[in-house]
Structure formats: C-alpha cells, structure tokens
Structure 1
Amino acid sequence: MGRVPLAWWLALCCWGCMAPNGSQAQEDPFVRSPGNITGAQELTGTLQCELLVHGEPPEVTWLRDRQTLQLADSTQIQVPLGEDEQDDWKVVSKLRILSLQLSDVGWYQCAVVLGGRTFVSQPGYIGLEGLPYFLEEPEDRTVTANTPFNLSCRAQGPPDPVDLLWLQDAVPLLWPRATPPAPQHILCVPGLNKTSSFSCEVHNAKGVTTSRMAIITVLPQQPHDLHLVSSLPTKLEVVWTPGLSGIYPLTHCTLHAVLSDDGVSIRLGEPDPPEEPLTMQVSVPPHQLQLDSLCPHSPYHIRVACASSQGLTLDQPWTHWLPVETPEGVPLGPPKNVTAIWNGTQAIVHWQEPMAPLQGTLLGYRLAYRGQDTPEVLMDVGLKQEVTLELREDRTVPNLIVCVAAYTASGDGPWSLPVPLEPWRPVSEPPAPSSWPWWYVLLGAVVAAACVFILALFLIHGQKKETRYGEEFEPTVERGELVVRYRVRKSYSRRTTEATLNSLGISEELKENLRDVMVDQHKVALGKTLGEGEFAAVMEGQLNQDDSTLKVAVKTIKIAICTRLELEDFLSEAVGMKEFDHPNVMRLIGVCFQGSELDGFPAPVVILPFMKHGDLHSFPLYSFFGDQPVFLPTQMLVKFMADIASGMEYLSAKRFIHRDLAARNCMLNESMSVCVADFGLSKKIYDGDYYCQGHTAKMPVKWIAIESLADRVYTSKSDVWSFGVTIEIGTRGQTPYPGVENSEIYDYLHQGNRLKQPVDCLDGLYALMSQCWELNPQDRPSFSQLWEDLENTLNTLPPAQEPNEILYVNMDEGGSHAEPLGAAGGADPPTQSDPDSCSCLTAAEVHPAGRYVLCPSTAPRPTLPVDRGSPAPPGQEDGV
C-alpha cells in the first residue's frame, strides 16, 4: 500500500479534534467492522469491513493501533448498487494475514475519507493464545566421551509464563544448576560415557509441548602420545595411547601418512592433509602400527584417530601431525653399462648411474678388479664415472675382470656383474652402403604414390556413404552389408532403420531397445510448417502406417549432435519416453533421422501426436485477446490445472524430473485435455523464455525453483515450484513477474517476493500456488496432493453456464501459427473473417466431464488492471 497523503492525515487530526460527539455514528458509512480473532501462531487470519457510499467509491485504509499498515495484504471489492456511477456502491475490504505472529497482535480498524471527512470503523482485536511455540530445539550432535557440552531449548507463549523441563532418555533431569547459574533454556551436561537422547518439555496455561529428540553420539577422545619407536629405509613403526571411549571399546584406529617436503606442506593444527594421504587401519589393541612401502630418506607427517562401535564421523578427533623421517638406505641396484678396454698399457673402465633407486644421497663409487693369479684390488673413485688403470703388459692383464658398486651413507649397494678386460680395436671406417640403381628408386616412389591415392579414394568413398542422403535406394551387397547410394537433396534419407542403426556404432543393447522407437523415414510425409525458431521447427506431417494414416507433428531439432555419447543419451531418453502411457502425458510416437553432410552424426527428428488446439500459453491468449473473444470459465482453467498435476504425478512416480514445466510446454488435444510435453528430448529448443548466464546452458529462470537457480539442483519438488508458476493460465497467459529483469529474478525471490494473486483468481487456488513456492522444498506439496486438491476444488465449483447454442472453438483452421515451438502441433486463432471458426455441437458432442463449454463472448473485451502489465504476444513472452 502506498504512502498516505498529507491531506489525509490533516483530515484525520481535524476530525479527531473537532468532530462533535456522535457525528460519526450518525453518518458512519460502515455497515460491518472488523471482528475479533484469537488463535495460535502461524494460523491464517482474515478481517473484513463493509461500507455503503454514494458516488465514486473511496480507497479503504487499514490501521493497526491507529497506525497505517504500509504493506498490508488487503483486497478491495466494489459492487455498484445501481446502473450509474453516481449511484450507491458497496465496498468490501479484506485484510489477510497468512501467518499470525506476535507482531500482528493489536487493534485493527478501517478508515476512509468521504467529502473531506475521515471515518473510522469500530476496532477488532487480533490476539494470540495457544500451546508454547518452540524458538529453538535441541539438535543432534557428536561429542567425545566425558567431555562437557551444552544444549539449548527455547519456547514462548502466549500465554506466558513458559516453564521448561529437560529429559534424558525420556527421564526428567533434576541436575543441580551450574555455577554460575546458566539460563533456563541452556542445559550444561558435564559429560557422557554412552550415546543418549535429550528433549525438553515446555508448559504454559494452555498445555504442554514436547520438542524433538536430539541424539548425542559419544565418540572416543583424541589419542595422545603418538611417537616413533623404530625406523628402516622403507618402514616406520609408531605407537600411541588411546583416549577415553566411554562404555564402547575401541574397534580400530586409522592412520594417515603424507609425504611432505621438510614439513612445509603440513602446518601445525591443519585439520586435513593437503593431498590424498596414505590411509591404513589396524585393529586394536595393541595400539601400534608398522608402515611399509615408504620412500627412504624422506620426510613424512602422520596422525591417528580411533573409532568405537558408534562409527566414524567427519569430525573425528585426530591427533596433531607428527613429523617423522625414514633413514637412508643403500642403492638397490648396481651401476649400468660397465665397460673395460685395454689399450696395451692402460685399462679404461666406464659406467653409468644405477637405474634402481639410490635410497639416499649418492656419495661415490667403489671399483674392484683382479686377475687370474693376482689378489683383488678395491678402489674408492668418488663420483667419477670413468677411471684409467695403469697396468703392466704381461700375461695376466688380458685375464682381468672389473666390478663397480655405488654407495651412500648407509653402505654399499650391489656390485655389477664382472666385466672382462677387452683389447682395444681402432675404429674402422663404416662400410659404404650399397647403391641402388636410380630406376629402382623411381619405381618404388611410383608404387607408394599409387597406394596412397587408392587408400584416399577408399576413405572418401566410405565417408560419402555415411554423410550423404536423399536419393532412392540402390542396394548392393558389399562385405555382407546393405549399402545405400544417393545424392544430396533436401529430404529424409531413404535408408532403412536397420542400416541407419548399424552405421551409428551404438551399443547392441541400445540398438535392440530402439526396435520399437525408430521409424522409417519414408513413412513420414511432411506438410506445412507450424512454427520455426532458432533451435527447432515444427511441421505438420502424416505417418503412413500399415492400414491407416496418422496425422502427426514432426519436430526437427537444429542443434548439432557432435559425439556418439550425445547421440546415445538422446536415443536412451527416447526409449524411456516411448514407455510413457498416461492421458495427460505427451506420448512419443517415434524418432527418425535426418542426415547431414556437415555433421558426423545425423540429426534426430521427433515424431509426436498432433495437438489440435496448440499449447496452453497461446490458447488463453487467443481466446481472451483475439478478434473474436471467447469466454473461458473458471471451471475450465481449474480442469487444465488438474490435468497438468495428474500428468506430473505420473512422471514423478516414474522418477522423471521435467525441469521445464510451463504453460507453453502443455498441449491441448481434441478433447480439450492437457498433455505435459517437451521433456527430455528437446531441452535446447526454446529461446524466448530462457536466460543464458555466462557459459552455462539457457534456463527458464522465471519458472525455475529458487534452489535450482542457486545450485542447479533439480528434484520433483523443483517441478512443483514450476507448476505453481505454470498456473499462469489462471491469469489468461500473462508473463510472470512483470517488470522484473531476468538477471534480477533470483535476488527478487531471495528477498521473499512471490507472484501476486490475480484479481480473478480464487483464494483457494492462490493458497495452493503459494504452497508450491515454499522456500524449503520439503514443505511443498506433492503432485498427488495438488491433483487431489484441484479435483476437490473443481467439484465444489458450480457447473459452467451453458448458452442456448453451444459453440466450440475450432482452432484447426486458418493460416500459419505465430511460433508454436512449445507445441507438438498447433493452430491459428479464429478471426472475425472466418465464419467457420466456431462450429455447432450437439448435446452428445459436449465435453464428457460436462464442466465447460466455449462460446463467443458478446461482452466488450475486458481491460486488465495497470499493475499487472500487458500480455506479451505468443512465443514472445518476457524472457527468463
């Protein structure tokens, strides 16, 4: 409600100070004042006042404790009592409070300004009284054994005072108060040695309320005194002392070991390791563990935690990280490529570093050699990898053998195999390669070029067979497979379904499941285009069956499928959709392929039933704003809503999430029943109602649930939110959230704003819509509950008034549709120049439910209120 003008306040003050006693009573226009309401919190309260006025009806203002309600949720109905605007009017104003709170308690009045004078109704009082209401309840938690902790439980009236009693394992607690005393709502527990449950009872004059039961799980305390007892190059042995675990003995302990660079990557008190740790479990007792397969001469950090039969949790008490280090080891292998050559007076020995791990810092090499009749000589040659030995030229020199070993601070590694001393041979010139005659080289080049050319022709020919489409069949047998040859033309491929599936390279299981889904392209004949957009086109078609011809809608998707995984995902969803069998769910007839020279995979074509009356967004718009307006009874709109809820109940029972539920995706068949459509196979077809954020996929943000906008998480409850927005058909197809930009919708919803109740919307329907937009998804109703409520609402409505001559809108005639991209079929709105746009029906042709009819309206076209915005043309709704 807007700001109250200054003149209104001056008039109110003057009236309160100068009006004589009884003047208001004599000329009081109010015939009904607000009543008194006393109830419990979170209940819905409604106040109402009525007044009779002469001339133009005034605006009714609501007061609480003589203060104007700036954001009151009030509605005002003005009923003329005569035929002229200057006659008497009856004005009814209702104030609704959806959830009573303490801040709503007070005296409520209605105020109007008539002829410069302010009149105020008799006050009505809203009060709260009931059982205590919990502001805070005890929560589940995990604690370590014998460790103090606190629980909190708070409640309030009215009526007050509220007394609180704590219970442990359903037994009242009579513990002495803490020192210093804690507040009554805080329970100080000195510690537990077993898992227990805690709850609280609150009492007031109206009765007792019991809180939820909080489970306190007792886990072992943190182990301590973790230390190293022995170490080897690849093994470490550690022991620790376990902490208290209450009455539950320890079952096992878990140890983490992380390789660190001198401790830099592990900081004191860091809760989680910086990388994936080496994890080991050990049964206890004893409380010790030997870590194997470690890297020698390397720093590690280790920690340990223990668990009891109460299980492990994410916040289990780990010890602090303990820095340890494995000692050095000897090299695991000998030097490689050892050679020894004698040139007459010298022996030159050469080798390379060992391939096996050194297990430490290489300090040098040791060399040993001996002759047949001479003792062994051992030398430390340092880090050199080549040594020259001065030898006497005698008979013993050619019989020498040489060995080499690497060593670290821990000792020598294994010796290499003995290498005999070989005499030196001068390096001779390499033999000249034999020359080939020049014509041999030329012949080889010609043969190689011919092979490459033949291979290229074969590859190009095979590629053209897979990517070109359009001509009649020319079957031949090559390698036992059917081959189809054709020229490029704008038509469907004439290949058989079997040949198409064989060429896609999909799995045999999926190929078998597609037997009943795939449709031969030559059985589909295309007609006029019903609508075309950026991502898809919908065409009227005929499916030639064995004994009949079925009118269908053919949807060609322009989005390219680039990988086999995308194609298999598409076909798998088609297999699942073919199994849908419900009168309010669009049934997939089949899928065929349209080939393409530009893409590696053919484009899928979706075949759906033809929907005579188009989508549920365009139908009310054409009926309401067309050149020949048609009356849509409330009973019909509620029936549409019930059909959608019934179809979504079926899909949710199948564990199928729609993610794009909107009126534009709900179709009307010949019997005026709604079918939920456009799920799974065509997520990327729409553009106008979708908003692209960064590099993410386009999303219909004005229909999408708030948690899906934040986290991109979709559930059946997010479909329930979209269902609440889909009931936009009750507003005759207008755009939701008029004036709110697509990029601002999340902040708008996060601030608590929701769609407003349309003027002609039933209170019960809007309450049902509001339940669909609860912030917590678990608080939203299921589709089965929504369907039941809508059916009950439909049964309580009086039958729609039927005119003498029953007319039925025939939307199957006329020109091209504006843009029915959400339709599996569709038609044009009737025009004044089309006398056959409405055809007479007999009594037997009336809808079997008997709840609604359609007939041309003789009343002038209604004008919508200014604050609801103007409806967008079909297919051009406000984007998302």
Structure 2
Amino acid sequence: MKRLVWILLFLLRSHEGICGNGVSFTKHPTNQTLSQGNAARLGCAVQGLTEPDIFWMKDGEKLYSTDQMFITLGEQHWETFHSVKSVQQQDAGQYWCEVEFHDLTFSSERAWITVEGVPHLVQEPQDVSTFPNVPFNLTCAAVGPPEPVEVLWWLGGVQEGEPRPSPSVLHVQGVNSSVKFYCEAKNTRGISVSRTGTVHIKVLPAAPVKLQVRMVDNNVTLSWKPGFSGYSELSTCIVQLSRRSVWRWDLPQQEVQVPPHLQVLSGLRSHSNYSARVSCVNEVGASPFCPWLHFQTPESVPSAAPKNLTFDLSEQQLALNWAGLQEEELQGRLLAYKVQWTLGGELQEPLLFKENSAQLSGGGRFFNASFQVSACTSVGCGPWSPPVLVLPASVQVPVQRSHMWVGVLLGLLVATVVGLLLTAVNHRREKETQFGPVFKPPGPESSVSFTAARSFNRNCAELQESTLDSLGINEDLKNKLQDVLIPERLLTLGHMLGKGEFGSVREAFLKKEDSSFLKVAVKVLKSDINSSGDIEQCLKEAAYMKDFHHLNVIQLIGVSLHRRPVQRLPIPMVVLPFMKHGDLHTFLLLSRLGEHPFDLSLQTLLGFMLDISRGMEYLSTRSIIHRDLAARNCMLNENMT
C-alpha cells in the first residue's frame, strides 16, 4: 500500500520535476548545434539519492562510454556529463539521462545534438554491369545539416549537367566501353565526394580453371573453379566427356546448373580412360573450353564369365582351355583366372592361372570332376562360367528321358573305375602346398606343374601384403623403416580415438610372436591422400620416432601398410604405444568440466610441466624443432607420465 501511495505522489509531482521521495532532476541536457569536428558536452544533475546510478541514452539506446564523469554538488546531489571530443554526423541525435530508483526509471528532459558540416552521403553510386549502348540509372543521396544539399555528377571525367537537389538519379543513355563515375554533394559547409564506380561492359566469361576429378569407390566427381565471369553471373556450365580406347568416343555433353561448380559423372565404364573439359555460360554466351583433363576410372570386378570352357583328358594330364574376356568385360587389369572344381560333391582347393589355359598332371584323378572358371582383378572375381563335367571321350551322356537308365549305368561304372584309380594312385601323389608344385609323381613320367598364387574370395578380394617397395619412397627412408614394418594381418583396428587434419588415431591390438595381443594406438593417414610425396612425409616422421629413446617422448613401435582395393598406393599406419589417459588438453578439461570432476594437485601439474620440458630438451639435443607444442599434443600414459 505504501508503495502505491509513493507511485501516486510521483505522478502528481512529475510536472514540477520532482521524483518520489524527493528525487528530482536539477539540470537537464540542452539542445546543441555544432559544426562537424567540434566538441560537445551534455550535462545532467539529480538530487535526492545517496549514490544514484545515472546513465545516458541516445535515440532509445543506452550509451556505454568511458568518458562519463560524476561530480558531487552536495549531499545527495550529483551531476554527470557526456562528452564527445569531435562530433561527426553519426553523433547527431536525441539525448537524455535516466536514473533508477526502487525498480522505477526516471528520465530527464530530452535534447538534440545537431551536427553541421559537409554533406553526409547516405547512398553512394554502385558499379554497373551492362551491355553496350543500353540505358541505365545511377543514384546518389546526401544530407546536411545545413540544408539544402545539391548533387553534381561526373561521368568519364566530364561533368554531367548542372547540380540538382539530393537525392539525385542520373539517367545514362548507354556507353560502349568501360567508364568511371562519381558524384559530389555540396552545401554551405563544403563538398563531399562519393566512391568512384565503374560501368563494366558484359563480355564472354573466361575458361574455367583447376579442373580436377575425385574418385571415391565407384563415384567419379568432376569439379572446377570458374574463371573471370565477364561481369555477368554464370548460369550454367557445359561438360564434355570422351572415352579413349582404340578410338575416341565422344559422349553426349551435359549442361550443369551452377553453383556448385561440380558434376557427378555416371554411367562410366570401370578401368577406362576418359577425357573431360568444361565451358561456362553467362548472359553473353559460352566461354572457351578449359584444357582436356585425362583420367582413368577405378577397377571393378569382371562383368562376365569366361566362355567356351573345354577340356582334353588323357591318362597323364587334364588340359583346360577357355576364351579370354574383352576389355569392357574385364573392367580392370587381369590378375589371374580362378579355377574352381568339385569332386564327389565336395569343393576342392581353387587354383589360379595367369593364362586362359591350364594343364593339370595326373588326368585320371579328374574323372567325373566338375570345373568352373572366373576372371579376377585386384578388386575381386567375376561370375563363374557354367560347370563342365570331365568324362572320357568314349562316354556319352544322353539327355533324352527314355535313355536315362543308360546314363545311370554309365555313371555307376565310371564311379567304380574312378574309385579304383584313386586308390591306386593315392599313395603316389603328394598334397599340394600353398605355394609349391601341384603334383610330383615319381619316375620319369612327364608332368606339367605350376605355382599357385594365393586364392581369391569372390565376394571380397584378398589383397596381397603391401611392401615399402610399392610406395615409391627414397631408398634411405625405405631401408630405415624395413626392420619396423609390421604385416597388416597382425593388426586389428578398433574404435577411433581422435581425428585431425591429416588423418585419425585408432585403438588397435597387435598380435605378438607369442600369440598374445598388445594394445596400441595406430595413426592412420587420410584415405584420400594419393601422392607418394604426402606418404613419404608421413613416414619421415615415423623414421624420426624410430630413433627416440626417452621416457617423455613417444617411441615408434612400427609401421604398417593398409592395402586399398581400388588405389595404387597403400595407406601408411604408424603404430605407437597406447596412452591410457589420452591427450593432456582433454584430461585437464575433464578434471574441471567432466561429469565426475577431480582435483589435480600442484605437484601433479608441476610434474606435467617437468615431463614436457624434459621431452622438449631431449628433442632439442637431437636438433629437432617441434613447432606445435600444445596440450593437445601431449599424451598421458597409465603412470600419469
């Protein structure tokens, strides 16, 4: 109730400049008209408060100024000033001061600061892009005070007409070449000059630049940077594509809306040579084409099975022949033909051959065996050919239903003969080893042997182990890393621990010689890095780490190479000790901001500092500069070292 009475008293006394509880403004800001560059000072005084919170307002916004002063005029009587050392047009506006008391705000009378000076440009003419001899308009606007303000136009260094009131629109009938222009705004205080604009004549765009192709799995994306636009916005780009084999085949050109300046190329054949070029179009027309970019699409599994699989059976050997695949069917570089065979309903060990023929010694053991063949690239193996049953030439297998019984009898007879032959020769032949001769019958009997490569999995091609020789790095680096090369099969990658600009760090398990597993961290280079230079730079860092022997510097465990199915170069993987507590930066954040904060003693923090210093000192003695010392690059092991 008392609060309500207090508010009513304030409203009744407000016309006398008296605030409730005796709070009143004894001085109000006054209107000021100043020339640009002069100093301005507004004053305001309030009485009735012990320590009033007085602040200044301009055009409804609170002013935050370090120049505000407070002066004590007497007990509960305060005066404040707002000063502007050199007023400009942006300082012009309405000012007043306010004071807060008992959650209420009281305002002084309002005053204006008016800044007189040279005209203030509020709209300057902008650049124009146009066709030759096409009319266009230019606009210029300026304000005082003092008023009036007049505008004078200059086009190509020549005055256009007489001064006219602001704002001014200049109508230009058209130009046939590039020309400069600006406007002048004038009042009694002086002249202001606008920015200099340019009339550009629209022309054909320049050819695109930095054309490049990116291949991820079977997706091929063409991207480019637009050249000079010709002072007109690019609307579309034209992509021309041709396939190069024995002859050059030009494919239908594609029109692409831009931006973005890229196009996903679809319907391309695997392991084929292509050329691409791009032209871009604006209002005037199409640019010249950029130079042809030549690229080869990734390999794929063959699309067809080898045809015309035939056999020639004798007592000494079985000869198999089949037709090779065409280039468009192979879809890659042929690694081998895979021959799969079954005997007695059981699948036998598959065989690999470089040529489209095979000679297998000991022909008798292949009676009643079924053979199929498939072509294999580095990506995998294609479909199987129809099965072919190996029978002696004298045996005919009728297909008419009325003579099915003949086939059954012959089948039983052949099975019996095969069983006897297998029993007779079983003790004389040796089991094929993984990489050795197939059969070695004793005696002078001639035989044909071959070396089997590693078998293929049709669905997921098994890749050969990568070596340092496949990377194209220099001999010194290769020799230095040879003794720390870890076969990829000994590593089992786990979840990702961190990710950076050049790759990621993953948890992994390394299988040791005693078949036990060691938990490690694996630094994996980004998969889209395809140059030997980038790979060599990564391995140089590993080579340096190989020679580190210090408690506070991580030592290299080894280097491994991850073979990629569709890429020429494998991805280097640097194997390092696993750090239980991760990087120092994250560890410190978790100690304060994690779900379960914990205290770190001063002794522990000093220990971190000493460990870092010792590690850096060691690197310095080896003439190595770190260049990126940060908490994120310091790792903590299980001993908090």
TM-score normalized by the length of structure 2: 0.36
**Structure 1 or 2: more strand by fraction:** 2
TM-score normalized by the length of structure 1: 0.28
